[in-house]
Amino acid sequence: MVELFVSSFVTLFLIIDPPGCAPIFAGLTAGAAPAHRRAMAIRAVVVAAGILLLFALAGEPLLHALGIELASFRIAGGLMLFLIALEMVFEKRTQRREDRAARVTAEEADDVSIFPMAMPMIAGPGSIATVMLLMARSNGLERSAVVMAALGANLLLMLGSLLAAGPIMRVLGAKIEAVITRLLGVLLAALAVQFVIDGVVEQLR
């Protein structure tokens, strides 16, 4: 069982990528109040956990019932992420936040916990497919519980990464944060394009 936990944990860690999601979350929530940022981090992980648990327990029947292929998740998620990435690169989100700041409080900043953080960043096509595959390969309640434990450990790591991302970015300062946000926007755009390419390739097979 230890081998199953380790292999499941490593596989999910590489797909979910807690360290990689943290700076993107920090960039998306730049300017939000610390309490609001923490609330978004917790909400994103909780919602993502619910999505992944749903697909782990009833993924294949649900998709078949709805007539949806996993490749469609990749393409749709990639397109939506690309739009977010463009806003990060050209600071459209920053401009909107500054305009809104004259009218509302910081606690009402954009909520990114559901989209794009919970889905597709955390509970994206890759993590959904991985959880479904690991559960399909785990025969028996005990082995399935081990896979669930590995998933839970990764989600706890994700929560810790998201909660630590904000303070780290604040220490760096506004100018460095702006540079990092634009750089992360470019990386997020590349990730979005890869999602679309993977989805198209999978559809053409």
* pLDDT, tens digit (0-9, with 9 covering 90-100), for 87-104: 778 866 555 544 544 443
pLDDT of residue 186: 84
pLDDT 10s digits, 25-79: 887 887 788 899 999 999 999 999 999 999 898 876 777 788 877 677 678 767 8
**Which of the pair, 113 or 79, is modelled with greater confidence?**
113
Q: How many CA atoms lie within 13 A of 88 on its CB side?
A: 29
Q: Which residues contact 155 (CB under 8 A, 6 or more apart)?
A: 16, 45, 48, 49, 52, 122
- Confidence band of 153 (pLDDT split at 50, 70, 90): very high
| Averaged pLDDT of the chain | 81
- pTM exceeds 0.95 for this model: no
pLDDT of residue 62: 77
Burial 72-84 (b: 16+ CB within 10 A, else e): bbbbbbbebbbeb
pLDDT 10s digits, 14-24: 788 888 788 88
pLDDT mean over 156-175: 81
